[in-house]
Structure 1
């Protein structure tokens, strides 16, 4: 048989196998991610993917260890063809496809994933298989999605809307990330305890409405108790402020405190301090009003302005939330 006839017969048999698999409910090839020049066939449920082995071994130590295991004598290496694919269980073809969006992007400037559900799929598999750079990318995009809570440290920045034809918009694109979603996501995938998580907890603690039963069940007993304690403390602080029971330190009180330490001068009864520390002979300089709270000013003589944030450096209610939930954004 000539080469052309043999090749034609092989292609015909291959077509028959695909059609038989389609009609019998067997595996089918993914329309976008069965790459003809790939060298690794992966089966997820009933969908075949054909990708490059080097992509997985380079970025994932889990796959690197998997493919470093020797094959039994006389056996065909897994992943060589459709008849002997690498089978991945416990995931869906949709989730695996979304991971491939990142590994084999159609447009590098505009990631195809755009919703919380899509990026969560990518984060889940990247965490499971230790794709560290993909995990970092997913966390970045999740925290950049529009949210239903504002950051207590900086104004929210809306995420840019992609107009790329490779990005397929969905109805969920404009759905914001809610505080409970952010908290549960951070807990499930061990996200950094940073200002994004602080913003979510602060939103739950400062909103007018109390936690619902569903929210309390999702948070668990410990976090629900913490939210209740913070809300009670904030209400007490607000009530004390209305009744005159809570006063912020003024310039005069700060001046008297500094004078008692022998470091400054009070003049004219208005709390003007000599911050030069040279006594009454020097020209007094006005001191800006102290911010709300009881901590010392970071602008005292000899102390440059601090650029890091400890839990006690957050403004307003966020400081109490940070201390209660042990969140530090340095």
Structure 2
């Protein structure tokens, strides 16, 4: 055997740049992509692409005739997801529209890519994408993807807005949450916004107007001459009182919907825990049961 043949036989595969590829089928199209990122940052893909196969068993994803089929995932969502995975890492300043980041959020949440999920949430929480969401849209997305801040924002906007809640919106909100919303809307439109709450249900009950407010819920004119002079003597008085804190819509929403927000927050934390980085040597592929996305794709904004 020649020395050249011996050198070729003893050559080692580079750990960083000897890549494994797998073939996936989404709808009626095939995708052949490197799998290192998928296996390192998603438990689901790591288990799917590094199976323990019996001797002689053929692994799926090694050729076009035997692809890994991702059921329940739209081609458009998958293209957006891959574009973000393979291009955004190289071009972090690259911009994508709202519909693109919603697709990324959906699949990152579905497959357990916690870092990518948080990136999508951050991008969608900036001022420009936020303007594209209605209060109901923000509420539904927050519930679907377990983002408590979006749910709170949706409820707050529904309480603050002047328009009535439509029948369609009521069905989307759900009757229990709708009842709480109606109570809050009534309270914040009453002549006196109240600052006390009951122990049952968390709804506001009437309370005397604060000293600095008029009966019409407008700020009464302040008289500087009537204000007490702060001295060491009166600062020591135990009966020195301060005006009650002003109850904002957001704080009221957090109190009334505390249980729902807590459950969503806990579910969101579970989705945001990064998995230990796994360095897998040449992962192989197989057909596996992949969680389905369920919802239809979001069209381009």
For Structure 1 versus Structure 2, the TM-score category normalised by the shorter chain is 0.5 to 0.7
Cα distance, 1:48 vs. partner? 0.9
Note the C-alpha offset of 1:235. 1.7
SS at match of 2:182: helix
**Contact preservation (8 Å) 1:38, 1:50:** no
CA distance in 2, matches of 1:317, 1:109: 36
- Taking only aligned residues, the RMSD between alpha carbons, in angstroms, comes to 3.2
Which residue of the other structure, out of 260, 274, 285, is the alignment partner of 2:231? 274
Q: Deviations over 1:149-197 (max 9, x none)?
A: xxxxxxxxxxxxxxxxxxxxxxxxxx61111111100101111x23x43
Listed as ranges, the matches of 1:40-55 within 5 Å are 40-55=22-37
Q: How does 1:120-159 map onto structure 2 within 5 Å?
A: 120-146=102-128
1:110 — aligned with what? 93
| C-alpha separation in 2, matches of 1:58 and 1:276 | 67
2: CA distance between counterparts of 1:318 and 1:140? 20
How far apart are residue 198 of structure 1 and its match? 2.7
With over 3 angstroms needed to count, the CA separation of the structure-2 counterparts of 1:247 and 1:44, relative to structure 1, is same
Task: Please name the residue that 2:287 is paired with.
Answer: none
SS at match of 1:146: helix
State the Cα distance separating 1:323 from its structure 2 match: 1.4
Give the deviation of 1:226 after TM superposition: 1.2
Displacement of 1:277 in angstroms is: 7.3
Cα distance change on mapping 1:226 and 1:201 into 2, 3 Å: same
> Which residue does 2:248 correspond to in 1?
316
Per-residue deviation, 1:278: 7.4
SS of alignment partner, residue 69 of structure 2: strand
Structural mapping, 1:89-104, within 5 Å: 89-104=71-86
Closer, same or farther in 2 for the Cα pair 1:236/1:91, shift >3 Å? same
- Tell which structure's C-alpha radius of gyration is larger: 1
When the two structures are aligned, how many residues end up with a matched partner? 217
Structure 1 unaligned residues grouped into runs of 5+: 1-36, 149-174, 251-267, 281-286, 296-313
When residues 143 and 235 of structure 1 are mapped into structure 2, their CA distance, relative to the original with a 3 A threshold, is same
Paired with 1:275 and 1:176, the residues of 2 have a C-alpha distance of 54
Task: Report Cα offsets for 1:47-96 as digits up to 9, x if no partner.
Answer: 11111121110110111112232224323321112122111111111111
Identify the match of residue 136 of structure 2 among 159, 180, 187: 180
Distance 2:68 2:210 in 1: 66
The 1:56–1:235 alpha-carbon spacing in structure 2 relative to 1, beyond 3 Å, is same
Using the alignment, how far apart are the partners of 2:236 and 2:185 within structure 1? Answer: 46
Distance 1:41 1:144, change over 3 A: same
Contact residue 41 and residue 85 of structure 1 kept, 8 A = yes
Runs of 4+ aligned residues of structure 1 deviating over 6 Å after TM superposition are: none
TM-score normalised by L of structure 2 = 0.63
Distance in 2, Cα, partners of 1:319 & 1:237: 19
Counterpart selection for 2:47 from 56, 65, 84: 65
Displacement of 1:111 after TM fit? 3.8
Q: Which moved more, 1:56-65 or 1:37-46?
A: 37-46
Deviations, residues 233-267 of structure 1 (Å, cap 9, x unaligned): 11224489xxxx853345xxxxxxxxxxxxxxxxx
Residue 84 of structure 1: aligned partner: 66
